[in-house]
Amino acid sequence: MKYSIGHVRAGIAALLVLFAMVSYELSGFVQRAEAIPAFARKYDFKCNVCHVPGFPKLNDFGNLFRDRGYQLGSDADSPVYEGIGMGYWPVSLRTTVGYQAANVRTDGSGVTTGGFGFTGLDLLSFGTLDRNLAFGVVFTPGLGSAGFGTGASDGDLEAAFVRLMRLERFLGVKSASGDYLLNLKVGKFELDLPFSEKRSPTLNTTFAMYHYMPGTPYTATIGGTSTSSYLNPNTFAIGENQPGAELSGIKKTTGTDGYFRYSFSALATNSFSGPLSGCASGTTCGTGGRNVNFYGHVTQSFGGYGIVTGQRIGLFGAYGTAPTLVNPTCPTCQAVAGSGQPFSRLGVDVSLTLNGEWNLFGAWMWGNDSKNMFVSQGIADAQNASWNGAFVELDYAPALLPFFEMPDWFFAYRYDLIRNNRQGDPTFAKNYNNVDSHTVLVRYFIHHSTRTDLALHAEYNSYRTTGVGTNGGDLLGQTMLVGFDFAY
């Protein structure tokens, strides 16, 4: 059975009516107990101390708490502080259960799925080892079935890092209260993105420009249709957690009544997994290499942090090389470090707020991959691949929903786009792999306390990827998800 756009939209409309009716009934029973839950347990916080109005999006205070190494600057920062209750458990878990329907089609054929299921499971632990010594670990266990029927998954440490805070004190610099000028993070971690994908309220839909790769058709949630592509050894994506080291800092700027932030990361290339030239047929060749790539992000806010109050502007970019040549003396070893070919990313981001309830934010990024990457894949007359990516999102978290006068609602709309300027393989059309994606969501926070969180979530995404079919047709996809998102 195929879902037409009309059918899915009608279904969404009916579900949202039911959504509103159920949440209205539940609102009378929700305690106004307003921080992964591990932090809520440690500090005896209510969830909306750090979130908008509940998990996962951080508010201004939550972002500052994260930037300062999960510290309030009090005795309670110590993990052995005697005031921490016996109910403190430094680990949280999160998953989503519900119903998902998705379809993708191109050149007259497609794939459709639908049914009840669950997403993968995240086990999270963040906190302090001691004053100014922070850590973070995110473990995603292997599951025999997850992702609403997409099959088994492998276990992995999505993140694992230690962060040393206020290193300026060893240089004889005394920071003002609330300022953390020089902090070092080492391990595997999420880059300091314009807007954190890990804290995005969208559960099914990634930020397209964070993961876009020239030559690989963009899809979301499910794939399986026949598409055309060309080889690109560059698998670097700013939205993927990266192994490396990061220097960062945050300082209150009295002249703007805001904050200046910076981060600079040196990233290992050993996790690269792109196709390499020189690999014999039937051989599982090693990937990665020993080069270092770089990523940086600076922001300045005015009148607040720029998520709930005030405005914020930023500049970010990445530069590095992607290995292209297999090690001829040891094909199963890492790639030849000197074979790396350059790529670059450069972008700007903006966040605007209104009345403490509206947040309009977005980013634009230009990307370029060297033509030598495509030469290494045997592509004739290869050229630099260049493209522009962008997104804009509007979030609305009313203190009380108008007319219904109900708290704990959250609404969002996001538009993602990719526009290609030039393809690495000149036989592909300039607009090949252009993307237009629309996402709308509604969340109602049924319960949030110092221990647990539960939200009713409805999300719909529709996207078009231009000219990627084997016959040159567009790829069309859409996903609907209605479920319960919970954390403990």
What are the sequence ranges of the domains in the chain? 1-30, 36-487
d(CA 121, CA 149): 14
pLDDT of residue 18: 44
d(CA 49, CA 76): 16
What are the φ/ψ torsions at residue 146 (nearest 5 degrees)?
A: -165, 175
Q: Which one, of 370, 406, 303, lies nearest residue 60 by Cα?
A: 303
Cβ neighbourhood burial of 332 (10 Å; 0-12, 13-18, 19+): exposed
pLDDT of residue 16: 46
Could you read off the pLDDT of 78-106 as tens digits, one per residue?
Answer: 887 777 765 677 888 999 999 999 999 99
DSSP string across 43-66: HT--GGGTBSSSSSSB-HHHHHHH
pLDDT of residue 47: 72
Average pLDDT, the chain: 88
pLDDT of residue 29: 36
Could you read off the pLDDT of 106-125 as tens digits, one per residue?
Answer: 998 899 989 999 988 899 99
What are the φ/ψ torsions at residue 12 (nearest 5 degrees)?
A: -60, -45
Asked whether the beta carbons of 353 and 370 are under 8 A apart, the reply is no
Residue 214: other Cβ atoms inside 10 A? 27
DSSP string across 396-456: E--SSBTTTTBSSEEEEEEEEEEEEEE-SSTTS-TTTT-EEEEEEEEEEEEEE-SS-EEEE
d(CA 2, CA 284): 38
d(CA 83, CA 80): 9
Work out whether strand 133-140 and strand 122-130 pair parallel, antiparallel, or are unpaired: antiparallel
**Is the pLDDT assigned to residue 436 strictly greater than 50?**
yes
**Is the pLDDT assigned to residue 43 strictly greater than 60?**
yes
Task: Find the range with the poorest average confidence among 80-94, 194-208, 277-291, 420-434.
Answer: 80-94
**Is the pLDDT assigned to residue 262 strictly greater than 60?**
yes
Query: Does residue 331 have a cis peptide bond before it, meaning omega lies within 30 degrees of 0?
Result: no
Question: Could you say which DSSP state residue 178 is in?
Answer: T
Structure token digits, residue 336: 């030849």
Q: Which one, of 266, 202, 206, 213, lies nearest residue 236 by Cα?
A: 213
Could you read off the pLDDT of 148-162 as tens digits, one per residue?
Answer: 876 777 888 999 999
**Is the pLDDT assigned to residue 423 strictly greater than 90?**
yes
Asked whether the beta carbons of 194 and 307 are under 8 A apart, the reply is no
For 6, the enclosing helix (H) or strand (E) is helix 5-27
222 or 295, higher pLDDT:
295
d(CA 106, CA 427): 20
Asked whether the beta carbons of 485 and 446 are under 8 A apart, the reply is no
Angle, vertex CA 403, rays to CA 399 and CA 405, nearest 5: 40
DSSP string across 284-301: ------S-EEEEEEEEEE
pLDDT of residue 13: 47
Q: How many residues does the chain have?
A: 488
Strand partners, 320: 343
Residue 342: other Cβ atoms inside 10 A? 16
Could you read off the pLDDT of 122-148 as tens digits, one per residue?
Answer: 999 999 999 999 999 999 998 888 778
Q: Quick one: what percent of the chain has pLDDT higher than 70? A: 92
Residue carrying structure tokens 């500052």: 64
Q: Which CATH architecture has domain 36-487?
A: Beta Barrel (2.40)
Confidence band of 68 (pLDDT split at 50, 70, 90) = very high
DSSP string across 356-377: TTEEEEEEEEEEEE-HHHHHTT
